[in-house]
Amino acid sequence: MTTAPLPDLASAFNRADYEGYIFDCDGTLADSMPLHYRAWQESLAGKLGRPAVEFTEDLFYHFGGMPARTIVERLNHDYGYNLPPEKTALDKEADFIRLLPGVGPVPEVVAILKSLGPTAKVIVASGGLTDIVLATLKNIGLESGPGHIIKNVIGSDQVPRGKPHPDLFLQAAQFLGVAPARCLVFEDADPGFRAAEAAGMQFIDVRPYRATIHPAARY
């Protein structure tokens, strides 16, 4: 049995059509989602005094891109957890930082990022907290700021509303000085797709272009 070749991500878009490029972090540039889920499970088990069996891996991937505090609010509402959203989110992120050395890149997407070159208008806009996103990117060898391909990083703590609202992407476009219609978003989860659409941007779902990905992420 032969395996079909992966589609070519470089052929999925025409660079002449875009002036700005917006990349998600977790699941798009960084292969971090499995360890984020592990951090959630370990953190919630400690708070609940039992495994968080309701928070399945499938559900976790459906929440992909949402701010952690929003996920806690959803779990409180749907399963009666009654956890303080802000503190629970921060504690979970602290657990993730402990696991961060195990995170690697998504090579297919990082290759596209690097191919854009240092003069391209590129930014990372993530549902994670800015400091966590910066640490994740650094762990996979990506820096941001003047002189780097990634010009800036915007996390959910910098906007009023996270994904699926368009705030992150609109602020990213404003920073780049590019009209939303001329921005291309690289994403891996439904909340991010909806945020891009709400912002008036085109997007690419990177999941079909990944050679390795957790089965639950392919919903």
pLDDT of residue 1 exceeding 50: no
Give the domain range for residue 185. Answer: 13-32+105-218
- One domain for residues 90 and 198: no
Local confidence band at 3 (pLDDT 50, 70, 90 cut-offs): low
- One domain for residues 17 and 111: yes
- One domain for residues 39 and 28: no
In a domain, 49, yes or no: yes
Cα 160 to chain centroid, rounded? 17
Backbone torsion region of residue 143, taken as left when φ is above 0, otherwise alpha when ψ lies between -120 and 50, otherwise beta = beta
In a domain, 71, yes or no: yes
Domain closes at, from 101, 116, 144: 101
Count up the domains in the chain and report the number. 2
Catalytic residue check, 17 = no
Tens of pLDDT, residues 62-109: 898 888 999 999 999 999 999 999 999 999 999 999 999 999 999 999
Q: Which residues contact 150 (CB under 8 A, 6 or more apart)?
A: 23, 113, 122, 123, 124, 137, 142, 143, 144
- Give the domain CATH number at 189: 3.40.50.1000
**How many CA within 13 A on the CB side of residue 76?**
14
In a domain, 198, yes or no: yes
Average pLDDT value for residue range 28-57: 96
- One domain for residues 59 and 145: no
**189/191 Cα distance (integer angstroms):** 6
In a domain, 175, yes or no: yes
Q: Which residues contact 3 (CB under 8 A, 6 or more apart)?
A: none
- One domain for residues 71 and 175: no
Catalytic residue among 8, 24, 31, 95: 24
Model's pTM, two decimal places? 0.91
- One domain for residues 127 and 180: yes
**45/50 Cα distance (integer angstroms):** 5
